[in-house]
Amino acid sequence: MRNLLNFLAKYNHVIVFILLESLALYLIFGADNYHNIKFYKGFRGISANIEKSVSNSRYYFGLKEVNDRLATENNVLKERLAMLTTGKEYSTWEVIDTSLGRQYCFFEGEVINNSVNRQKNYITINRGQKDGIDKDMAVISADGAVGIIVASSKNYSVAMSLLNIDMRMSARIKSNGYFGSLSWDGVNYLEASLSEIPQHVSINVGDTVETSGYSSIFPEGVMVGVISDYYSSGSDFYDISVRLSVDFKKLRHINVIGNRLLEEQTELESSFE
């Protein structure tokens, strides 16, 4: 009790001040509706400004992440386009002037339907014949090869995914140039198999696998994946597992590549079959 009395005696001025301030605030905002409304509006204004600042900050950092991703994709695709042209200047992905000597044309698109859990997976994109998309065009993303267009309508196209047991693609090991056939066994959506690589060839886990260019559909040098494992199968060739560079479960932005010389090449080659 003595301690309490000492405390009250020591801080009596502060205690009286707090009590009077509390009473004044109660009389102003409790009894006067005008001041109550003004106080509420002021508080709401401050709160709204804080919420707006937080929202703008979140939007800014989210937008930066999207821009970084798009910039990366843009740079990769520009490098590929430069590699596939004859050195002429270009200003658009849809290169349509064959007189410039460009063999390939590029079309941007988005995936609107996709699957990875079937034996035969297909991808639907939001571009069709009105956009220049047709059968036997390659589909790629910024990460690598995706599939081949097998059908198109006016506004949409369907591609056979690399994750399809009927899919075959000519692919090579970048470090030594040896090529084989890439296929999918229908089990793991992250991996494919590369066959027909002879066992006298030196290979290593981590070696890059890319398109060979021995195709009328895929141009040379498109990323496919990296060697994740390999072993001797008892034959003259390796059994090679390839970790695909494209994550098909989050595939969204794609590019379709058309070969303007496809018909000429296939007609000539078919005459020798």
Q: Give the pLDDT score at 7.
A: 63
Domains present along the chain, CATH in parentheses: 98-270 (2.40.10.340)
Tens-digit pLDDT profile for residues 152-176: 999 999 999 999 999 999 999 999 9
Parallel, antiparallel, or unpaired for β 138-141 and 144-152? antiparallel
- pLDDT value for 232: 85
Q: Cα–chain-centroid distance for residue 227?
A: 21
What pLDDT is attached to residue 90? 35
Query: Averaged in consecutive runs of 10 residues, what is the pLDDT profile of the chain (273 residues)?
Result: 62 66 62 54 58 59 63 58 46 42 87 96 97 96 97 97 97 97 97 96 97 93 97 88 97 94 90 84
pLDDT tens for 85-96 read: 444 333 334 444
Residues in the chain: 273
pLDDT in the model for residue 98: 45
Angstrom distance (rounded) from CA 110 to CA 131: 13
CB atoms within 10 A of CB 202: 10
Provide the pLDDT for residue 234. Answer: 78
**Torsional sign, CA 184, 159, 270, 224:** negative
Q: Supply 232's token pair.
A: 């001797």
Measured CA to CA, the distance from residue 144 to residue 211 in angstroms comes to 9
Q: Are 43 and 49 in contact (CB under 8 A)?
A: no
pLDDT of residue 146: 98
Residue with tokens 């599939």: 147
